[in-house]
Amino acid sequence: MHDSPDAMSNPALETDAEDAAPHSTLSEGDPLVAQLADQVTQELDFGIRLVDTPTGRNEASMLIHRMYSWRGFTGNHALTPVANRVTLMASQRGEAVGTLSVGLDCPEGLLADELFKPQLDAYRAKGGRICEIIKFAFDMAGNSKQYQAALFHLAVITARDVHQRTHMFIEVQPRHRAFFDNALGFKQIGEPVLNPRVNVQGILMCVELSYMTEQIQRYGGKGATPGVRSFYPFFFSPREEIGIVNRVLNMTHD
């Protein structure tokens, strides 16, 4: 963990993934799907877009600051332009309600290297193309499971299809381990480590992008599914995913 403990600000982390109230999956007619098609957030009810402007980064930074402050974490949470980092932001009726950033491995490494470099180096040594989820915050009252799923699905597409990553990591407090395990299949790597700057223990968790892809193919688009505790039934369907991947690739290649 760093001065901004990344996964600690989301109220949903207080409950197990299966405890979230059932919510129908997003369909092709849902406003979210239309907004993803156009990367627009201001015209319809809910949308997700890439944050690549000072205004967008400021909106995401304010959300992170609000949620981290609510948890009692201090420090500078401002998002700055970083070449190896992609920030996604979810908006509802024009207001930022969720954000996360995908950090891509590069010669300078990842933020997680500060505390977990030996573990990350082990994956690098085996040819892993690694990335990390950082600065995850979500502030949406009520049943937000499907919207968090949509945000993570876009993170998967960013890591897997745009940047050809094989493994995704995240640093969390130990009490949030079960959420990320149940919701997305992250598994703990090694033992907790104390971050001396904030005096908080953190753990490193990892999930293979191939596993996430398998789960999307199996459950994506099905909505609440008896016996399935994960978020994957609330991801887009495989057919919807193909269209979103193509649009995102076209955007990033423009």
Sheet holding 130-138, edge to edge: 46-51, 85-92, 95-104, 130-138, 167-172, 200-208, 187-195
Instruction: Find tokens 């395990």 and name the residue.
Output: 181
pLDDT tens by residue, the chain, 254 residues: 443 344 433 433 433 333 333 333 444 444 444 444 334 323 346 677 676 544 544 554 554 444 444 444 545 444 455 678 888 887 776 666 778 999 999 999 999 999 999 999 999 999 999 999 988 877 755 557 888 898 999 999 999 999 999 999 999 999 999 999 999 999 999 999 998 867 889 999 999 999 999 999 999 999 999 999 999 999 999 999 998 898 888 877 65
Could you give the angle at the alpha carbon of 235 between the alpha carbons of 232 and 236, nearest 5°?
Answer: 140
What domains can be seen in the chain, in order of their start residue? 11-253 (3.40.630.30)
Distance CA 210, CA 253 (A): 24
Distance CA 193, CA 225 (A): 36
